[in-house]
Amino acid sequence: MTVHSIAFIGTGVMGRSMAGHLLQAGHTLHVFNRTKPKAQTLLEAGAHWHPTAGEAAAQADFVFTIVGFPTDVEETYFGTDGVLAHARRGSVLVDMTTSSPLLAQRIATAASERGLSALDAPVSGGDIGAKEARLVIMAGGEVEAFNRVKPLLELMGKNIVRHGGPGAGQHCKLANQISIASIMMSWCEALTYAQKAGLDPVRVIESIGGGAAASWSLNHLAPRALKGDFAPGFYVKHFLKDMRLALESAESLQLDLPGLTQAKKLYEEVARRGWEESGTQVLLKLYQEQS
């Protein structure tokens, strides 16, 4: 195996596990996160800390980023202390944040002008997928750069597909979030109905979770929610960001997406109640309180 020098920027709920797989595979890891304690387990395992994203990127042949919002992506890449200003010529930059397709295209153009390659490669699978290296990875960018980085992506995920040029990965991820938005409503409504009808919702999941109504969210997130476990595998605040991005993109494509529109309204109410730092499964709590 070829050992690479890798920068990983963003060591939160998912990034910490993703970076850990690269480190465990024997690669040299350089990390930056706005909150250093979130990188502590990686540092204890042998990763090298850097005070800025740019300084981490300057050490690496491959730079991975997974941060919170498009504004964070913008700062991480285009800031004075950012990746584009400091990355080594010839390195590959891989943004795994769910972000704007247009921003992904801007990063790819700016990278090319500096002798770099850039991919957008957002992920799906949440904290469990990140921990178990079973993420779905949706990539956009040039074929050569994708082929170079794919062996590293395979350390983090099992379903890795390139969908086209710059921005294509983000479009696929937004399609993923559009689907999830309605799925979250569906199982919350189903279980709220079942409880109101006097059924045990856990046993209902045992039945419908093995049939046509089955989904990853129903089988994994619903049981957490029923136990009152709203710890974030994926934050409400980040899901709201994704839905806003998807609606903006849909509007530019002249599409009306009523399911997504309704889900966004419900999650805005979730956030209004102060639950935006919770996991997306907290939506069930909203349904239960309204019923």
**CA dist., res. 53 & res. 65, Å (int):** 9
**CA dist., res. 172 & res. 226, Å (int):** 30
* 196 in catalytic set: no
Longest dimension (CA), the chain: 64
**CA dist., res. 250 & res. 248, Å (int):** 5
Asked if 51 contacts 42 with a C-beta cutoff of 8 angstroms, the reply is no
Q: Which of 173, 196, 227, 264 is catalytic?
A: 173
Q: Is 250 left (phi over 0), alpha (psi -120 to 50) or beta?
A: alpha
Burial class (CB in 10 A: 0-12, 13-18, 19+), 33: buried
Residues tagged active-site: 173
